[in-house]
Structure 1
Amino acid sequence: MERLKDKVAVITGAGSGIGRAAAELMGREGARVVVADHHGQSAEETATLVEAAGGRALPVTVDVTDEGSVADMVAAAVAEFGGLHVLCNHVGGTNPRKDLDLLRMDMDEFDRAVTLNMRSTLLGSRHAAPHMISAGGGSIINTASVAALVGDVLQTSYGAVKAAVVSMTKSIAVQYGPRGIRCNAVAPGAVMTPALENNLPEGVIAALKEGNALPYLGAPEDIGHTMVFLASDESRYLTGQLLVVDGGMTMQSSAAPGRRAMLPG
Structure 2
Amino acid sequence: MRGLPGKSIVIAGGASGIGAATAVRLAEEGARVVVGDINLDGARATVESITASGGDAVAVEFDLADETSIERLIRSAVDRTGRLDGVFNVGADLTPATLGNDVALDGMDAAIWRRTFEVNLIGFARSCRLAIPHLLAAGGGAIVNTSSAAAFVGEAVRPAYAASKAGVNALTRHVASRWGKEGIRCNGVSPGMVLSETALATMSEEFRAAGLAGNRSTRLGRPADLAAAAAFLLSDDAEWVNGQTWSIDGGGSLHD
TM-score, normalisation: structure 1:
0.91
Deviation at 1:109, TM superposition (A): 1.5
Q: Check the 8 A contact 1:29/1:55 in 2, yes or no.
A: no
SS of the counterpart of 1:103? helix
Rg larger for:
1
Choose from 152, 155, 170 the match for 1:167: 170
Contact residue 14 and residue 23 of structure 1 kept, 8 A:
yes
Aligned to 2:125: 122
Matched, 1:182 2:185: yes
8 Å CA contact retained: 2:99, 2:161: no
Aligned alpha-carbon RMSD (Å)? 1.5
2:207 to 204, 208, 212: 204
Q: CA offsets per residue over residues 109-147 of structure 1, 9 Å max, x none? A: 111110110011001101111000000000000000011
In the other structure, the counterpart of 2:251 is 248
Alpha-carbon shift at residue 59 of structure 1 (Å): 0.5
For 1:136 and 1:240, locate their aligned partners in 2 and report how far apart those are by CA, in whole Å: 19
The percentage of counterpart residues that share the same residue type is 37
1:199 offset after TM fit, Å? 4.5
SS at match of 1:142: strand
Distance 1:70 1:96, change over 3 A: closer
SS of the residue 1:21 aligns to:
helix
Matched, 1:47 2:47: yes
Mind listing any 5+ residue stretches in structure 1 that lack a counterpart? Answer: 253-265
**Gap regions ≥5 residues in structure 2:** none
1:146 aligned partner, one-letter code: A
- Alpha-carbon deviation of 1:6? 1.8
Write the distance in 2 (CA, Å) between the matches of 1:202 and 1:119: 34
Of the three residues 220, 224, 229, the one matched with 2:227 is 224
The 3 A distance-change label for structure 1 pair 228 and 53 is farther
State the match for 2:216 in structure 1: 213
Question: How far has the Cα of 1:33 moved from its partner?
Answer: 0.1
Q: Does 1:76 align with 2:79?
A: no
Matches within 5 A, 1:22-101: 22-94=22-94, 95-101=98-104
Q: Name the count of aligned residue pairs.
A: 252
Shift of 1:196: 2.6
Q: What secondary structure sits across from 2:87 in the alignment?
A: strand
Instruction: Output the amino acid matched with 1:73.
Output: L
Is the contact between residue 2 and residue 235 of structure 2 (CA under 8 Å) also seen in structure 1?
A: no
Q: CA contact under 8 A between 1:184 and 1:239: conserved in structure 2?
A: yes
Q: Does 1:5 align with 2:2?
A: no
Distance 1:63 1:147 in 2: 23
